[in-house]
Structure 1
């Protein structure tokens, strides 16, 4: 399967309206208009593609959908065939769903952990439209997509098998941390577009990473969070694997935003060597005052093969 990038995320939150200020004023994202004019949602973007992150008002903090981009209609058709050969049920989109996502076409399916995913091609681009919500250099997107996400899954081995053998993700490296194994995947030059960590009986979105173009953008955002008393989940630090200099802030959606700069890239796939590490950070990234993520949920019976909730420490690199 030829997934090229993370195209968009949709999340649900009882505090969706807070994103209308948190997104532009703290993160520097731009607010996009809803193409269907629906109330109760905030659409944000970090480049010329409207609606990269959509936050819908709902009863709980949870990940609704992850949107993965493929290059063309032919690639989408091939992906559907591969999913169906793997025994995955695929749902075709309606015209309304295509319009809401601002894409030419999409299909959706559910993974073994119970997450909903969409595969799409032809995401709307409005050249020159991105205007940061506050003064900043901008974000690293383009062929690297929206950013990266870290998901908590109930069965690491099952999800690892799915993402590599069915979706075609390539492993970048692995980190053993606090008794957990984190596996990082790339689909383009970004060091990792996805990482997963297994916590028996639980699933959810741990964090979304947004990469900025200048190290000062990180410092300014950090000062804004401190000044506004927005809880930090992890302090400033630098990661061992992708060398990202970043901090983690708790978002109004219950998950964390990693706000970073300076990550290395996978420039030559043929020469890439998977490594195994035992620390997520070279320095910093110490626990902040934020509680455990509020975007995690117990896995219902029959999803991911596990039903018993386990502990959540909330600290993922």
Structure 2
């Protein structure tokens, strides 16, 4: 399957309206107009593709879906056939759903952990339209996509098999952390676009990473969080595997935002060697004052 990037996220949250200020004023995201004019929906972006992050008001904090980009209609058709061969039912979107996602076509399916995913092609681009919500240099996107996400899954082996064998994600490396095994996957030069860790009986979005163009953007955002008393999940630090310098803040919807700079890339797939580490960070990333994540919940039923 030819997944090339993480194209978008959709999230449900009782506090969706808070993103109208949190997104631009804290993260520097731009507000996008919702194509369907839906009330109580906040659409944001970190580049010239409007609506990469959409938060809709709902009863709970949860990931509604992750959208994965494919190069063409032919690749989408091939992907549907691959899903069917793997016994995964794919549902074709309506014209209204494609309009809401700002794509030419998409299909949705559910993975073994219970997450909804969408495969799409033809995402809307409006050249020169991105204007950050506050003064900053911008974000690293392009061929690397929106950023990366980390998901909590109930069964690591089951999810690992699905993402590798069905969706075609490639392992970058692994980290052993407090008895948990974190597995990092890449689909483009970004060191990882997805990572998974297992907590039996639990499922949810742990964090979304947004990578900025300048280390000063990280410092200014960190100061802004301190000034506004926004809870930090982890302090400034540098990761062992992708060398990202970052900190983690709690979003209004319970999951964390990793705000970072300077990650290494997978420049040559053929020469990449998978390794594993015993710590997530070279320095820093100490626990902050934020409460436990609110977007990771027990699986019901």
TM-score normalised by structure 1 residue count: 0.95
Runs of 4+ in 1 over 6 A off after TM superposition: none
Q: Distance in 2 between matches of 1:38 and 1:56?
A: 9
Q: For residue 83 of structure 2, what is the aligned residue in structure 1?
A: 83
Q: For each residue in 1:20-55, what CA deviation from the matched residue of structure 2 results, as whole angstroms up to 9, or x when unmatched?
A: 000000000000000011101100000000000000
Q: For residue 245 of structure 1, what is the aligned residue in structure 2?
A: 245
Q: Distance in 2 between matches of 1:291 and 1:162?
A: 31
Q: Distance in 2 between matches of 1:298 and 1:75?
A: 35
Q: For each residue in 1:146-183, what CA deviation from the matched residue of structure 2 results, as whole angstroms up to 9, or x when unmatched?
A: 00000000000000000000000000000000110000
Q: Distance in 2 between matches of 1:299 and 1:176?
A: 24
Q: Distance in 1 between matches of 2:294 and 2:174?
A: 25
Q: Distance in 2 between matches of 1:26 and 1:205?
A: 20
Q: Distance in 2 between matches of 1:100 and 1:144?
A: 22
Q: For residue 231 of structure 1, what is the aligned residue in structure 2?
A: 231
Q: For residue 123 of structure 2, what is the aligned residue in structure 1?
A: 123
TM-fit CA distance, 1:234? 0.1
Q: For residue 141 of structure 1, what is the aligned residue in structure 2?
A: 141
TM-fit CA distance, 1:241? 0.1
Q: Distance in 1 between matches of 2:278 and 2:80?
A: 37
Alignment of 1:208-223 (within 5 A): 208-223=208-223
TM-fit CA distance, 1:300? 2.9
Gap runs ≥5 in structure 1: 302-317
Q: Distance in 2 between matches of 1:140 and 1:97?
A: 27
Q: Secondary structure at the match of 2:132?
A: coil
Q: Secondary structure at the match of 2:248?
A: strand
TM-fit CA distance, 1:299? 1.5
Q: For residue 286 of structure 2, what is the aligned residue in structure 1?
A: 286
Q: Secondary structure at the match of 2:218?
A: helix
Q: Distance in 1 between matches of 2:191 and 2:64?
A: 25
Q: Secondary structure at the match of 2:43?
A: strand
Kindly tell me the number of residue pairs found equivalent between the two proteins: 301
Q: For residue 296 of structure 1, what is the aligned residue in structure 2?
A: 296
Alignment of 1:1-317 (within 5 A): 1-301=1-301
Q: For each residue in 1:173-229, what CA deviation from the matched residue of structure 2 results, as whole angstroms up to 9, or x when unmatched?
A: 000001100000000000000000000000000000000000000000000100000
CA RMSD in angstroms comes to 0.4
